[in-house]
């Protein structure tokens, strides 16, 4: 179901889910791993024929709310948080000749997932975005304690961190521009582990002292009154921990597509 916003359209992104992946991408080619794919959100589908767009909403169509029916029967939609729903802004070209969703300072804006993206005891998330220029920002916000799990930015001047309501793991402290972040989180075997990657280099591999109380993601670009200012490109969530070779191939795909 697609619900157009007739008053203040937000022509900015596309979503695909559970097994459909564009095959005609000029940058990066098709998504290399489809097994266990839960959610795929991207700002560019790169001119696929209309007949090929099954669960993908092109960002240029002007929909501010976009939803699809995944295999588990729960639809995922995305919408702007605050009126006039003019933020994030569709910027084309933005990165590597592709459009991006630019979360800007005025007017402030964020995007909700409704319902939340529910992860199980294990998941792998890939996130392509720039750091925030606003201190103490959340790029990807969770539903648990202190809005965890989350990708946070500009806390103490650190560009990107993975946050679990206690532990904080640095992707990169001083990065700028668009980068590819990835986290593999495994709580399925009684011993929780976290593996963190920055532009396809593993920077953290550790055992975590406590399981996540919540593993859901609820929105982009907002927490507790603070709006992030950043460029968003793509987010992919798998409902399993992917193998090192799969993680590497997905990272390479995103790096190539977005010119990182």
Number of domains in the chain: 1
Whole-number Å distance between alpha carbons of 150 and 92? 27
**Domain range for residue 57?**
2-258
Question: In this predicted structure, what is the pLDDT of residue 100?
Answer: 81
Tens of pLDDT, residue by residue over 26-69, are 344 577 888 888 777 776 644 333 333 333 333 333 323 333 32
pLDDT tens digits along 103-119: 888 767 777 776 677 78
pLDDT digits (tens, 9 = 90+) for 129-159: 999 999 999 999 998 888 889 999 999 999 9
* pTM (global) more than 0.75: yes
Q: What is the reported pLDDT for 184?
A: 96
For 180-190, the pLDDT digits (tens) are 999 999 987 77
Q: What does DSSP say about strands 168-172 and 179-186: parallel, antiparallel, or unpaired? A: unpaired
User: For the domain that residue 70 is a member of, what is the CATH number?
Assistant: 2.60.120.200
The token pair that represents 208 in the structure block:
């975590």
Tell the residue number behind the tokens 């799990």, with chain if given: 149
């Amino acid at each position: 179901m697609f619900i157009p916003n007739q008053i203040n359209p937000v022509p900015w992104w596309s979503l695909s889910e559970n097994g459909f992946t564009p095959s005609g991408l000029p940058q990066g080619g098709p998504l290399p791993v489809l097994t266990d794919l839960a959610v795929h959100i991207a700002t560019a589908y790169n001119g696929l024929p209309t007949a090929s767009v099954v669960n993908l909403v092109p960002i240029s169509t002007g929909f501010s709310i976009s939803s699809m029916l995944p295999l588990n029967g729960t639809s995922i939609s995305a919408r702007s948080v605050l009126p006039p729903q003019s933020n994030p802004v569709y910027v084309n070209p933005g990165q590597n000749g592709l459009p991006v969703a630019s979360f800007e300072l005025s007017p402030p804006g964020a995007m909700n997932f409704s319902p939340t993206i529910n992860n199980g005891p294990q998941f792998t998330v890939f996130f392509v975005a720039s750091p925030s220029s606003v201190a103490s920002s959340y790029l990807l916000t969770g539903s648990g304690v202190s809005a965890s799990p989350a990708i946070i930015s500009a806390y103490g001047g650190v560009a990107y961190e993975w946050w679990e309501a206690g532990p904080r793991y640095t992707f990169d402290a001083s990065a700028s521009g668009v980068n590819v972040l990835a986290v593999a989180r495994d709580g399925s075997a009684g011993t929780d582990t976290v593996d963190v990657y920055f532009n396809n280099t593993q920077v953290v591999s550790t055992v975590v002292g406590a399981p996540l109380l919540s593993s859901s993601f609820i929105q982009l670009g907002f927490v507790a009154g603070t709006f992030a200012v950043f460029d968003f490109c793509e987010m992919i969530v798998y409902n399993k921990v992917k193998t090192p070779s799969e993680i590497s191939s997905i990272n390479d795909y995103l790096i190539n597509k977005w010119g990182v």
